[in-house]
Amino acid sequence: MRRGLVLNLIGNVTFFVCGYAIHFFVGGYASAAGYGVVGTIITVLDFEYLFTSNGARQSLARNLASRRYDVRDTIVKALVVQAAVIALFFIVDFAGAPLLAGALNDDDLTGYFRMAAFLLPANGLYIIMLGINEGLQHFGRSASLYTFYSLIKLGTIPLILVAFPHDPAMGVEVGYLSSMIVTIAVGGVMFLTLSRSSAGGTGGGGASGETRATRRIAWREVVRDTFSFSLFFIMASLILSADTLVVKALVTPASMTGYYTGAVNFGKTTYYLLQAFAVVILPVVSRLLAAGAASRAKAVGKARDLVLVAFAFVLPIAVTISATAEGLLSAFYRDDFAVAAPALSCLALSGFFMGMTVVFNMILNAEKDTHFSDVLSITSLIVVLPVFAAAARFGGITVVAASSMICTFVTMTISYLRLRARFADVMTARAWVVVAVNAAVWAALHIADQTVHIRYFALLALCYAVLYAAYLAVLFATRLIDRTFIHSLKDAG
């Protein structure tokens, strides 16, 4: 588990660092209103990916990790279901582009939405490749593919300069699509290598020497699992992304969308990091639970270890961004972006809360019981949009961000209580102490941000690194985290 977590964290760090590089360029290259268009398109892309991403990926990873079903049969059926979903939403998105543009009060967005539809099939195949590797617990292959896509996506910057100097939004879409096609080609080579290794008895269905399952998975189960995971991650994305669309549609002037987009980019940082935890914990816990009652205690231990790591190493990042929002936005963008500082203070914590909601629900779903997550998703989908719309109309971007933080905190708390009642209490005493330490860190950093102003982002980033190192030193000095604990995070192989 330790190796898989580290590799996926590296992949996720690469993903959002490269994403920040693109936003840093586009944010300075385009006007605030123009950057708002880019932010809207990227938000739509993120939302559209949910229909071809996490449902198939997590379903495939869990079913392969459980080792109950024939590997090839499981993969083929997942591909067929994925293709059906892609075909449906491609038609809906392409034909419905004028309606989407009209809903956002900008008919010029029609072409961008139609272009976004073409990213669905490319993303769908890429995601299947990730799910296969994660289900077979080849986390290194999955992380390598993810990291490669993040790096090659940087080619979007020169593409905009050369081919789309007057239309950066279209340049972003074309750049992302081109990067996805190249990544699929590389992933295909990796998959062929994996298939040959499986045929030779060195991989595929599990560790060497294990008997492979021959039972075929039911079509109904594949469809149900894909839909359930899709619904859950649509809920997560809705809370984290729909606010940008609501701001675009309801908040004036148009420049506020650009400022809010700048805040959202940093607000999602810890959510992306926590995806690495969700990617690893689902197949690891699923495999241990499938091994029988004797392995349940080990599964609980792995879950507790992972949650402690999340709070100890990821929460301080959210706390730092939240407490120093004004200085961060001014240094990274321009001074006028500081108007979104209160919003970023809320969004940084909102991203962490939603990330932990995902982690808690992946642990619950490892037992193939998705009923709770389904109910949580449907309820959230019904509640969130009206809340965001009311917040935007009557309160502006700060109230929208605060609404997002409240919604994610509620979903995280409910998920934790359900997990404690059904599976185990994954919050140890050390985890609660870490939460208290981070609350004190937030107060100290917020005071510092109001008194010390750092205008250069490179210097601010260096200060962040020093503060994070000091924080880790305190954790190790107080033995909240020690080397014994770190070494205990072994691969659950």
pLDDT of residue 1: 61
Ranking 43-47, 64-68, 194-198, 377-381 by mean pLDDT, the lowest is: 194-198
Residue 231 scores a pLDDT above 80: yes
Inside any domain, residue 210: no
Residue with tokens 């996805």: 180
pLDDT of residue 210: 52
282-331 residue pLDDT tens: 888 888 887 777 778 888 888 898 899 999 999 999 999 999 999 999 99
- Do the beta carbons of residue 277 and residue 134 sit within 8 Å? no
Residue 99 scores a pLDDT above 60: yes
pLDDT of residue 302: 86
Inside any domain, residue 183: yes
Inside any domain, residue 493: no
Ranking 45-54, 231-240, 250-259 by mean pLDDT, the lowest is: 45-54
Closest CA to 153 of 262, 22, 302: 22
117-131 residue pLDDT tens: 888 888 888 888 888
Ranking 215-219, 353-357, 467-471 by mean pLDDT, the lowest is: 215-219
Distance (Å, whole) CA 474 – CA 39: 38
Tell me the C-alpha to C-alpha distance, in Å, between residue 124 and each of 33, 71, 134, 488: 31, 19, 15, 35
For residue 311, give the DSSP letter: I
- pLDDT band (50, 70, 90) for residue 453: confident
The pTM for the full model equals 0.78
Q: Which domain holds residue 233?
A: 2-204+216-488
Tell me the C-alpha to C-alpha distance, in Å, between residue 257 and each of 244, 249, 250: 7, 9, 10
Inside any domain, residue 402: yes
Residue 245: partners with Cβ closer than 8 Å, 6 or more residues away: 40, 43, 44, 104
The count of domains in the chain is 1
Average pLDDT score over residue span 480-489: 76
- pLDDT band (50, 70, 90) for residue 368: low
Inside any domain, residue 211: no
Tell me the C-alpha to C-alpha distance, in Å, between residue 436 and each of 310, 342, 378, 440: 14, 22, 32, 7
134-146 residue pLDDT tens: 888 788 888 888 8
Tell me the C-alpha to C-alpha distance, in Å, between residue 51 and each of 33, 83, 226, 318: 28, 11, 10, 27
Residue 446: partners with Cβ closer than 8 Å, 6 or more residues away: 323, 324
pLDDT of residue 197: 60
Average pLDDT score over residue span 222-229: 87
